[in-house]
Structure 1
């Protein structure tokens, strides 16, 4: 059910309604519609919403465009030569004169009316298309914002669950003499043998692509590697490191990418004892 919800929130259904999808994406959406009623219901609701939005924001053609169309019609009327000019005298003889029938002007008027309607329709469609594009942009932005909000709520919920768990100890690692402003939080559960790093509270310089931070546990006076991690601008989750049941202290060093067998002591960033 979570996968269906994530699929609905991805924004693909809005793009499908607007026709802004590939053939493969279109086939996938139609398969999801036929298989999952919830997806079909969401698609119907999106279509209704977009239709209501278009109707509510419809714009009448400008007076300038209306005037041009009417002037065109009057010009067509003025060019018509069906009006009588001079009455011919009636010849009094036994012959009946048959006058040639003039071309029927009905088609001229019909064509002019159709042309006027076409211009009005094109103007209205262009305006509706622009509004739909703007609405689509807003929907995609809203979907992205909702996804970010959902991820933030999930992270906070996960974080609270760890900090509320009585089996976890929260250890604050303080910066060393060379890095006094550095700090981070480590949650350690000896019972569950779990070690978690609070990436949202990570106060370390961002590492380059050639280096990574490495977490160490001091066990019986010897350092034990618990894995490597990166400090990036979007580090906001709780990162689980390698399992360990006993530790007297934790420390972090900056090592070459992939980590080192032994810690580089002059590159130690933070450390803290388990009380």
Structure 2
């Protein structure tokens, strides 16, 4: 057998593509077992087809490029049979291209399916996070309600002052754990470069003690803030101060003020 003629006939490509009859397959298989050169060629064709599935886009298959990658030479077809040799040569690489296209389509389909699975999984995780956040928010809300309804809580209304008569806030003071809960829904967002500062006051003589600034006021949605207060407060006030806060309240920026009710 002329190995070179047999290889250039294109029959090995048809064999790889599964386009031969049962008897032809058997014949080629026997030749492959007999001639190591044919086995090597078959392995190279299979490797080239698999390589194409990674190198060529499934949406635009370059017919000429595929022939080059398969290393097929249509201009050097040698007749095995005068009626069939040309057909075998062309059909050989054409069948390989069909095989490569099928593999490409399969890989593309699997990739799309994998992307869909990942998208669904991500959406499920996001939904679970949202559900968990909602549960946490609900738990926090219930906990806050229980705190505000505690019989030991001292409520203090803070009314608007001077030019800020529309402002308002409310303090819930828990003396047992030295904590106040400030509901500041009635205050506007702090302007740029400014910050709300909370004060504990004793009235005689008037002595303010800073309870700190509310730096996250503008970004907080519910406008309820937990603040430590170990002072014997007689009143609470809120002023608008420069960023970083002030050592003493700016009285011209006193927006709200409320006196603690000491009546039994």
Where on the TM-score scale, by shorter chain, does this alignment land: which range? 0.5 to 0.7
Q: Is it true that 1:211 corresponds to 2:197 in the alignment?
A: no
| Alignment partners' CA distance in 2, 1:227 and 1:171 | 18
**What count of residue pairs does the alignment treat as equivalent?**
180
Which structure has the greater CA radius of gyration?
Answer: 2
- Which of 230, 237, 251 is residue 237 of structure 2 equivalent to? 251
Displacement after TM superposition at 1:253 (Å): 0.7
Q: Could you tell me which of 124, 137, 147 is aligned with 2:109?
A: 124
Report the CA distance shift for 1:192/1:126 in structure 2 as closer, same or farther (over 3 A).
closer
User: 1-side partners of 2:140 and 2:192: how far apart?
Assistant: 26
CA contact (8 A) 2:199 2:210 kept: yes
User: What 5-or-longer segments of structure 2 have no aligned partner?
Assistant: 1-58, 60-78
Secondary structure of the residue aligned to 2:252 is: helix
Deviations 1:219-269 (A, max 9, x none): 143222222113213243743323234222211011122222221111011
Alpha-carbon separation, structure 2, partners of 1:172 and 1:112: 82
- The normalised TM-score by structure 2 is 0.56
* Cα offset, 1:117, TM superposition: 3.0
Alignment partner of 1:161 out of 141, 146, 151: 146
The whole-number CA distance in structure 2 between the counterparts of 1:143 and 1:272 is: 43
Match of 1:242 in 2: 228
Matches within 5 A, 1:1-275: 111=96, 114-139=99-124, 141-198=126-183, 201-221=184-204, 222=206, 223-230=208-215, 231-236=217-222, 238-275=224-261
Give 1:175 deviation, angstroms.
1.7
Question: Which stretch of the first structure deviates more once superposed, 167-176 or 110-119?
Answer: 110-119
User: Over aligned residue pairs, what C-alpha RMSD do you find?
Assistant: 3.5
List runs of 5+ in structure 1 lacking aligned partners. Answer: 1-64, 66-80, 87-99
* Partners of 1:195 and 1:244 within 8 A in 2: no
In 2 relative to 1, CA 183–150 (structure 1 residues): closer, same or farther, beyond 3 Å? same
In structure 2, how many angstroms separate the alpha carbons of the residues matched to 1:117 and 1:85? 29
Name the CA distance, whole Å, in 1 between partners of 2:168 and 2:248.
Answer: 22
Q: TM-score, normalised by structure 1?
A: 0.54
Determine if contact 1:190/1:245 at 8 Å carries over to the other structure. Answer: no
Contact 1:159 1:238 in 2 (8 A): no
Q: Secondary structure at the match of 1:239?
A: strand
Say which SS state the counterpart of residue 195 (structure 1) adopts. Answer: strand
